[in-house]
Structure 1
Amino acid sequence: MYINNSNITLPDDNDTIVWKYLDLSKFLDMLLSRQLFMSRSDKFEDQYEGTFSEPTFEEIKKIAANNPKFLDYYKSHREKVVISSWHINEYESFAMWQIFTKNNEGLAIQSTIGRLKEALKPETRIEQYIGNVNYIDYKKEYIPFDDTFFPFLFKRKSFQYEREVRIISDVSLQNIPVNDGLKINVDLNQLIEKIYIHPKSENWYKKLVIELVSKLDLKIEIEKSDLESDILI
């Protein structure tokens, strides 16, 4: 269930295009389960995920000097926050294909901010929030900690190319096991506007994806990547 939070920023335009690049195995898991995987925040490759910048950490250490459990809470909290990452871009990104798909059998899901909000409505167990990631200098800039989500909506400036918007949930109060992450219920027809096939994939692969989507009775348009258009001389 998507919940609006006035403290979390998002593009004003619900038609803002977002993308998710993923391998075939993760795509198949999404289609067959009709669920979206959300990764546990401390399992991301970036070890700074869900941590604080240096100015913020200095302030937290002062508070924790008289209350050690205060710092322990933030350390353990990372294990109870789950995230699904999306990339804001009007067009496909060559860099995203390179980073997030390991071979020629990757796919890109195209959606919009509005579609993300609507697709989350079937999920009633967990509250989801959607917010922009802010890219800052962790040595100089301050991250507020008056909201438990805020450490997870900041990343280092070296990740600016990701242009990330996140679906984010805190499951601290639910008795839900979280190993590497958890799956949430979504309306796939609402979530996915188009599926783009990897630019280096062969025709048989596109036919396979089309057949799979059809057999699962999903009404989703499938395109070959725009990066694989014909060369005109």
Structure 2
Amino acid sequence: MYHNNLNITLPEDPDTVVWKYLDLSKFLDLLLSKKLFMSRSDKFEDQYEGTFSEPTYEEIKKLAIDNPGFINNYKIHREKVAISSWHINEYESFAMWQIFTQNSEGLAIQSTIGRLQKALNPENNFKQYIGEVKYIDYKKEYIPFDDFFFPFLFKRKSFQYEREVRIISDVTDSKITLNDGLKINVDISQLIEKIYIHPKSENWYKNLVIQLVKELGFDFKIEKSDLESDILI
């Protein structure tokens, strides 16, 4: 079950629309296993992921003089946290199709903040949160570190276009070892409101996705992306 944490914020409107762009194999894995894959936080491409801004690091270094294990504990914590990223946007995003899907094959799951909250099944052996990422200048701005989650809820300003909301699982208190990540139980019919298929995909691909979803017993709406792929002059 996701927990409330005073420092973790979310858009107030539960109907805020969120998206996840993914390829067909990851989508099938989600449907077949009824589990959502979350990546270990130190496996992300952004090398700043889960790290500190410079002003925060300076302050932590002072604290670490008396407590040499302090910084190391943060590094270890990154191996115990898994993240599933979602993108806030009222509409689908051309940029996100380009970044997160290869060629012309890919899908976008459309959901809402409220649906994400309801889709998470209670987990007994680890904590789960949903939070909105804040985008800051890592050279100048201070990240408060009174909470182990703070490194995972801040990113550099150059990533602002992602408008990211994250499901965060923390397995620190359990015996779970995260290799690449973690699969969590989800209610698929809550999680997925609608599926959009890549704007440049062929008809056979759309039909394949429709058939797969139907054969697996799901009935959410499937739409071909309505982003126009032709250039209009």
Q: Same fold, TM exceeding 0.5?
A: yes
User: Which residue is equivalent to 1:71?
Assistant: 71
Which letter does structure 2 place at the counterpart of 1:121?
Answer: N
Equivalent AA in structure 1 for residue 27 of structure 2: F
CA contact (8 A) 1:131 1:166 kept: yes
The residue number in structure 2 matching 1:15 is 15
Q: What residue number does 2:174 align with?
A: 174
- Cα distance in structure 1, aligned partners of 2:83 and 2:155: 14
How many Å separate the matches in 2 of 1:114 and 1:180?
A: 28
* Distance of 1:231 and 1:94 partners within structure 2: 13
Shift of residue 229, structure 1, vs aligned partner: 8.0
| SS in structure 2 at match of 1:63 | helix
Deviations 1:21-55 (A, max 9, x none): 01111111111111101000000000011100000
Contact residue 2 and residue 122 of structure 2 kept, 8 A = no
Q: Does structure 1 residue 132 correspond to structure 2 residue 127?
A: no
Please list the CA deviations of residues 49-68 of structure 1 after superposition, one character each: whole Å capped at 9, or x if unmatched: 11000000000000111111
Give the deviation of 1:103 after TM superposition: 1.8
User: What is the rounded CA distance, in whole Å, between the counterparts of 1:175 and 1:71 in structure 2?
Assistant: 22
Aligned to 1:81: 81
**Residues 231 and 49 of structure 1, relative CA distance in 2, 3 Å threshold:** closer
Q: Distance in 2 between matches of 1:145 and 1:232?
A: 49
Residues 1:114 and 1:87: Cα distance change in structure 2 (over 3 Å): same
> What is the match of residue 95 of structure 1?
95
Does the 8 A contact of 1:132 with 1:166 survive in 2?
Answer: yes
Size of the aligned set, in residue pairs, is: 233
Compute the displacement of 1:216 (Å).
1.2
1:228, 1:200 → 2: CA distance? Answer: 9
Task: For structure 1, list consecutive stretches of 5 or more residues without a partner in the other structure.
Answer: none
TM-score by length of 1: 0.96
Structure 2, unpaired ranges of 5+: none
Find out whether 1:160 has 2:160 as its counterpart: yes
Q: Whole-Å Cα distance in 1 between the matches of residues 22 and 100 of structure 2? A: 6
1:221–1:125 distance in 2 versus 1, CA, 3 Å = farther
Does structure 1 retain, via aligned residues, the 8 Å contact 2:80–2:177?
Answer: no
In structure 2, the CA distance between the partners of 1:219 and 1:58, relative to structure 1 (3 Å rule), is same
Greater than 2 Å deviation, 4+ residue runs: 121-127, 228-233
Q: More deviation in 90-99 or 73-82?
A: 73-82
The residue that corresponds to 1:145 in the other structure is 145
Amino acid in the other structure paired with 1:66: D
User: What CA RMSD, in Å, does the superposition of the two structures yield over aligned residues?
Assistant: 1.6
Moved more, 216-225 or 122-131: 122-131
Cα distance between partner residues in 2 of 1:126 and 1:165: 19
Question: Does the 8 Å contact 1:122/1:186 carry over to 2?
Answer: no
User: Percent identity, aligned pairs only?
Assistant: 80
Distance across 2 between alignment mates of 1:174 and 1:111: 30
Q: Which amino acid aligns with 1:70?
A: F
Say which is worse superposed, 118-127 or 149-158, in terms of deviation.
118-127
**For the residues of structure 1 that align with 2:126 and 2:74, how far apart are their CA atoms?**
20
